[in-house]
Amino acid sequence: MPSLLTDPAQLHATARRIRDHAGELRHRAALLSRSAEQVHWHSCAATEFRQRVTEVAHRMSTAAAQLDVSADHLDRHARRVGHALAGIEHTALKTAEVLLL
């Protein structure tokens, strides 16, 4: 059974799951921001609350972007693993042909 670290399909699947989580995080950040804006509360505390919620939502969006970058790196790694495995397989087949001659 192929290891997660050597199976390009598993690596790509993990990258897709990471992207899905990034999308969910962005969605939740947007919901949080909209919810805070719709609260009918007017005071200095309300202003501070909205500012903090905006900061948290921004950090959530930044984290989502970082997850997307990580998924991109993982996809690139998966492609490299796939190419390496293909090269190993090709070399093994050529070696087997030589040995069988």
**What whole-number distance in Å separates Cα of residue 47 and Cα of residue 56?**
14
Domains of the chain, first to last: 8-100 (1.10.287)
Q: What's the one-letter identity of residue 19? A: R
Residue 4: predicted pLDDT? 60
> Is 50 exceeded by the pLDDT of residue 1?
no
Stated pTM of the model: 0.81
Give the pLDDT score at 80.
96
Per-residue pLDDT, 3: 63
> What type of residue is 27?
H
pLDDT tens digits, one per residue of 14-73: 999 999 999 999 999 999 999 998 989 999 999 999 999 999 999 999 999 999 999 999
